[in-house]
Amino acid sequence: MPLSPPPRDARGVVVPHDHPDILPDHKIIRRVSPYHIAPDEKTPSGRRISTAAYQPSNGGVGESMSVDLEASILDAGADPRQYVSNPPFIGSVWFAAAFLRGESLMVGFDPLSENPHHGGVWGSFPRSRQKRLLQAAEWYVQIAGVDLK
């Protein structure tokens, strides 16, 4: 069933919210840019995803960490792994919605004209939380030769 429309302000901008139709076990996908791969001498591959990948996408006031909502993609009949793997993204990770909410983050629906399955994760992203996100992330589309953590 499609997600209900998100709450918007007077300008039509989606406001930070926790969407009730995004269920605890829904997979929340975060795409990974090649710029967010960092060398790490301690990992088997020598490279891993930087904590910089786990923070608001453009840093503006009230900005969210952009994500894709797997349930919404599946509901539209699309292949989510293919959907989230278009350039410049070379891979992606996922979190359960319940985990993000357990980190006091809000998981909402923020559809864009170019991405109707776009969601937002609102809240603060201090280093300690970024580190927990790094530890909790699971591959959705694995990047060859790169470790998760």
Partner 1 sequence: MNAWSRSPAESAFSGDVMPFHGPRFRYQVTEVRSSWAAAVVERLNELCALPRGWNGYDGLPVSFSVAQFTLSTLNAIMWDDAPIPSIIPCGSGDLQVEWHLISGDIELHVMGPNEVSAFYEPAGDSGNAIEMEVKADFTAIAGWLRELGEKRRAIITAAA
Residue whose token pair is 């410049």? 88
Choose between 70 and 110: whose C-beta lies nearer to partner 1: 110
First CA to last CA distance, the chain: 35
| Beta bridge partners of residue 14, listed in sequence order | 8
**Pairing, β 118-122 against β 65-69:** antiparallel
Applying CB under 8 A, among 19, 26, 27, 48 the residue interacting with partner 1 is 48
Taking the C-alpha atoms of residue 138 and residue 136, their distance in angstroms, rounded to an integer, is 7
| Alpha-carbon Rg for the chain in angstroms | 15
State which of residues 58, 104, 113, 144 lies at the interface with partner 1 (CB under 8 A). Answer: 58
CA triplet 4, 20, 120: central angle to 5 degrees? 80
Residues 106-145 that bind partner 1 (CB under 8 A): 126-128
CB of 126 to partner 1, least distance (A): 8
Which of 17, 66, 96, 116 is in the footprint of partner 1 by CB under 8 A? 66
**How many residues of this chain interact with partner 1, rule: CB under 8 A?**
27
Judged by CB under 8 A, the residue of 12, 44, 60, 77 near partner 1 is: 60
- Using CB under 8 A as the binding rule, whether residue 103 contacts partner 1 is answered as no
The dihedral over CA atoms of 144, 147, 38, 104, expressed in degrees to the nearest 10, equals: 120
Q: Which residues bind partner 1 (CB under 8 A)?
A: 31, 33, 35-36, 38-43, 48, 50-52, 55-60, 63, 66, 88-89, 126-128
